């Protein structure tokens, strides 16, 4: 029960991680006129889970988790994730979101958080969100399986929440989309992680690149 409650605490939207500021491509898709009704949003979110989260963020989180307190290994994962992230908006959004999550853990005195913050300041790491998640969630005592599930949930829930905030879908329909996405998270979480970090979501990258030059936008990414 304690492990479950700990996972709920750290995956909750009320945890000060700064995730509310990022749509991770949803606003860019909406600006392109992509239909983000229940069917369209489900297709978009499921595609992101399969082709970005599963092969990129999930792998980075697992590598960072398994690195433990070895900051050199954590930094190597960070730079590998940077290299696999094509769109600058998503790249910088991941680093900003990771920085906000790490800042909360520094204030909470999570083991190793201050040292990771110093490594980032010194240029030895970058602080991408999945890397920080793997590092701090291990430090607070969560299992690797729980950390993967939390990462998938936070990703899917964040994408749906962004669509609701943009007004392209209602909250109830959003929950239908989230349920479908979480089924895919569960499916992909059962797949053995590949050693290489890679992402192939060109439509999201293109939408995010366009979003970066928008004169008016609600989200940072």
Asked if 154 and 57 touch (Cβ cutoff 8 Å), the reply is no
* Structural contact between residues 217 and 34, judged by C-beta atoms closer than 8 angstroms: no
pLDDT at residue 93 in the model: 85
Q: Which of 136, 156, 157 is nearest to 147 (CA)?
A: 136
pTM: 0.90
Domain boundaries, the chain: 21-207
Residue 95 to residue 82: CA distance in whole angstroms:
9
Which residue do the tokens 């800042």 mark? 103
The contacts of residue 77 (CB under 8 Å, 6+ apart) are 60, 63, 64, 67, 131, 134, 197
* The CATH number of the domain covering residues in 21-207: 1.10.4190.10
CA dist 205 to 74, 124, 200, Å? 25, 26, 9
Q: Report in angstroms the alpha-carbon separations of 82 from 36, 56, 136.
A: 28, 10, 19
Q: For position 212, what pLDDT does the model report?
A: 57
Residues in contact with 97: Cβ distance below 8 Å, sequence separation at least 6, in sequence order: 17, 18, 19, 21, 22, 129
One pLDDT digit (tens) per residue for the chain, 221 residues: 789 999 999 999 888 877 666 777 788 777 777 778 899 899 999 999 998 999 999 999 999 999 988 999 999 999 999 988 877 788 888 999 999 999 999 999 999 999 999 999 999 999 999 999 999 999 999 999 999 999 999 999 999 998 999 888 899 999 999 999 999 999 999 888 777 888 777 777 666 666 555 555 556 54
pLDDT given at position 208: 64
């Amino acid at each position: 029960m304690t492990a479950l409650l700990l996972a709920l605490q750290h995956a909750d939207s009320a945890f000060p991680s700064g995730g509310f500021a990022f749509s991770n491509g949803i606003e860019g898709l909406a600006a392109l006129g992509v239909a983000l009704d229940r069917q369209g949003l489900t297709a978009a979110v499921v595609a992101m889970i399969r082709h970005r989260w599963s092969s990129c963020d999930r792998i980075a989180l697992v590598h960072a988790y398994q690195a433990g307190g070895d900051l050199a290994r954590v930094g190597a994962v960070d730079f590998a994730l940077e290299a696999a992230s094509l769109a600058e908006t998503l790249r910088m959004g991941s680093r900003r979101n990771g920085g906000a999550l790490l800042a909360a853990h520094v204030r909470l005195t999570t083991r190793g958080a201050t040292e990771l913050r110093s490594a980032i300041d010194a240029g030895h790491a970058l602080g991408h969100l999945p890397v920080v998640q793997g590092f701090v969630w291990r430090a607070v005592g969560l299992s690797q399986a729980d950390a993967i599930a939390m990462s998938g949930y936070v990703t899917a829930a964040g994408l749906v929440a962004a669509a609701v905030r943009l007004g392209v879908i209602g909250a109830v329909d959003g929950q239908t989309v989230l349920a479908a996405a979480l089924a895919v998270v569960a499916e992909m979480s059962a797949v053995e992680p590949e050693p290489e970090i890679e992402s192939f979501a060109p439509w999201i990258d293109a939408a995010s690149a366009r979003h970066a030059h928008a004169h008016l936008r609600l989200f940072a990414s």
